[in-house]
Amino acid sequence: MLLFVGLGNPGRAYARNRHNIGFMAVEAIADRHGFGPARTRFRGLAREGTIAGERVVALLPQTYMNESGRSVGEALRFHKIELGDVVVFHDELDLAPGKCRVKTGGGAAGHNGLRSIGSHIGAEFKRIRLGIGHPGDKSLVHSYVLNDFAKSEEPWVRTLCDALAENAALIAKGDDAGLQNKTHLAMDAAGFGQAKRVGEA
């Protein structure tokens, strides 16, 4: 069994925030693959389904970002899921908008959701890093991530989430390079190549 975790903050006020792109991605995957309805479990909203023959729990912690690890830890222990079968989708300031990179383990790089998860289950989980760009000044980061995507950004956000949903079998199979390649090609095909990508200098 795999655990797909989307990071974000609960509630309508945060729904379209840059910080919530992890929620958006996991919801897109669960919708595309016909997962069951969301149930309130593990201090979050959980949906279950199958991708490429693998059972998957899609979890959106409802603890607020800073306490995401509580929710993830409960789900991990209940389902007896191995740390290597946890996949966390999160916003990444250090990647250009629309970029997707996959890594396993590492530090939190200032991301409070990752820090919380690491403190509860350890750091060696897989991360799907979804680029949102950087405001350019460290003092602006807090307001930047907690502001909504601009209307002009919404097309690439939708395209990226659709590409992740379309290629979720690659995530289930552990084909990290394949996933990165497919999402890159999808973004390029939609006109969001690196030179044209919204928000990029």
Active site residues: 19
Number of CB atoms found within 10 A of residue 154's CB: 13
**Per-residue buried b or exposed e for 39-50, using 16+ beta carbons within 10 Å of the residue's own CB:** eebbbbbbbbbe
Token digits of residue 67: 């306490």
Tell me the C-alpha distance between 129 and 158, whole Å.
16
Burial 164-188 (b: 16+ CB within 10 A, else e): bbebbebbbebbbeebbebbbebbe
**Is 32 exposed, middle or buried (CB count within 10 Å of its CB: 0-12, 13-18, 19+)?**
middle
Amino acid at 181: N
Maximum pairwise Cα distance, the chain: 45
Separation CA 123–CA 116 (nearest Å): 10
Other C-beta atoms within 10 Å of 79: how many? 17
